[in-house]
Structure 1
């Protein structure tokens, strides 16, 4: 009987141990991150293995829905100065969380002409807890995108603008905008969904404000 009880408790302890340890297979581990993320089906939820990823092509989500990408503190470095790091087009309900995104350092006089995150013709997009760092021409550029939520990010040292937004609904909460070009402004226009977009945008914002389709609160401009 004693041996049976001992075996029972050993098995119970093993089961508890297995349940408490997160298996490595729960993390996305890949040598080609852009290809792996580009192939995600609608409805996917992925968490990256920590580390630094050199991208030879943009992360492109096209026509996808209900995807969550948790960067888990990873750094995404675009190897082309002309390309966006991430591009979302025709997407809905996408969450981009907890990563750093940047470009390689420019070596010539032209510099970088790619954005860090570029979004168009999309809706219900969340960008939260990210570091969108320098060398990109714009930290976040979003056009005809409804219900874009940008929460608790550090957007800094982008050569032209912290953000450009032209669309019907933008929420900016508790972000830090630091040392971006052209006076560290957010270039903003309200525009109806699928309506015409006129260039340049109507407003240059450097402080929290509210208006039609716009809520800004708790942001810092440095």
Structure 2
């Protein structure tokens, strides 16, 4: 498959680097070395070229204008990939991924996505095919110390497959990862900690694979309702206080 790398011009210069630092989990493995510099307003025009030539894009974003992350996501087409450069991205609204398929959003280096509004999810994924989130640190800027009705870090609904790998999800909102009416959820090599309700809350998920994570200091470990095949192994669990556990009901 042919890839064209698009750089979203969030800074005045193109940041050098490779796709994926050493020891990071990064699924952005294909790089032709060709880069086209565009502004966010040009994204749709470039996408039209992609459709006509059968190409997929890798769009590179930098932290100068973090609020444009949502615009980048909105312009993604099936098969596109977003590479988020190292830095802190402070946002005011949930990052919403809706109706997409075969989408990858991955961080390069240390990437922190911080949401101001504790009553929204940091990531909301709805009615998608396959979505992968990789090497991201996500939380609310000032999470509430105790559970109230506030947002999760990652929330998915009506999605065929969600993969979360190499991410840190901490102290933000009520739940690390929650999903409803989804096909497959895979969580691997993540650090999930200090969430004020649960690390996980899953309802009507066909397949769950939770492997090789560090899960600690959450108010509770997990609630699973009407879920199908569940595999959990290689996880390090510590000090999840256990008030709400309910497995496989």
- Contact 1:112/1:135 (<8 A) preserved: no
- Select 1:138's aligned residue among 167, 175, 179: 175
What aligned pairs does 1:89-100 form with structure 2 within 5 A after superposition? 89-100=126-137
**CA displacement at 1:39 relative to structure 2:** 3.0
Structure 2, unaligned runs of 5 or more = 1-30, 38-58, 239-249
Structure 1 residues 129, 110: closer, same or farther in 2, change over 3 A? Answer: closer
How far off its partner does 1:135 sit?
A: 2.8
Structure 2 Cα separation of the partners of residues 20 and 120 of structure 1: 34
Give the count of matched residue pairs: 182
Q: 113-122 vs 28-37, which deviates more?
A: 28-37
Of 23, 39, 55, which aligns to 2:75? 39
Cα distance change on mapping 1:48 and 1:169 into 2, 3 Å: same
Indicate conservation of the 8 Å contact 2:169/2:191, yes or no.
yes
- What CA distance in whole angstroms lies between the structure 1 residues aligned with 2:147 and 2:211? 33
Rounded Cα–Cα distance in structure 1 between residues aligned with 2:92 and 2:177: 20
Gaps of 5+ in 1: 1-18, 192-211
Mapping for residues 110-189 of structure 1, pairs under 5 Å: 113-166=150-203, 167-181=205-219, 184-189=220-225
In structure 2, what is the equivalent of residue 205 of structure 1?
none
Structure 2 residue matching 1:60: 3-state secondary structure: strand
Change (3 A) 1:217 1:56: same
- State how far apart, in whole Å, the 1-side matches of 2:231 and 2:145 are: 39
Give the whole-Å Cα distance in 2 for the aligned partners of 1:22 and 1:112: 46
Q: Hey, what's the Cα distance between the residues in 2 that align with 1:63 and 1:179? A: 34
Q: Stretches of 4+ moved more than 4 A in 1?
A: 19-26, 106-112
Residues 111 and 135, structure 1, Cα contact 8 Å, conserved in 2: no
The yes-or-no answer on 1:53 pairing with 2:86 is no
Say if 2:98 is the partner of 1:80: no
Whole-Å separation in 2 of the counterparts to 1:38 and 1:78: 18
The separation in 1 between residues aligned to 2:104 and 2:123, in whole angstroms, is 14
Which structure has the highest helix share of the two?
1
* Alignment CA distance shift 1:43-1:79 (3 Å): same
Q: Counterparts of 1:22 and 1:75 in 2: how far apart (Å)?
A: 27
- CA-based RMSD: 2.4
How far apart are the structure 2 equivalents of 1:75 and 1:112?
23
Q: Measured at CA, do residues 109 and 221 of structure 1 come closer, stay the same or move farther in structure 2, by a change above 3 Å? A: closer
**Alpha-carbon separation, structure 2, partners of 1:120 and 1:108:** 26
Rounded Cα–Cα distance in structure 2 between residues aligned with 1:100 and 1:124: 21
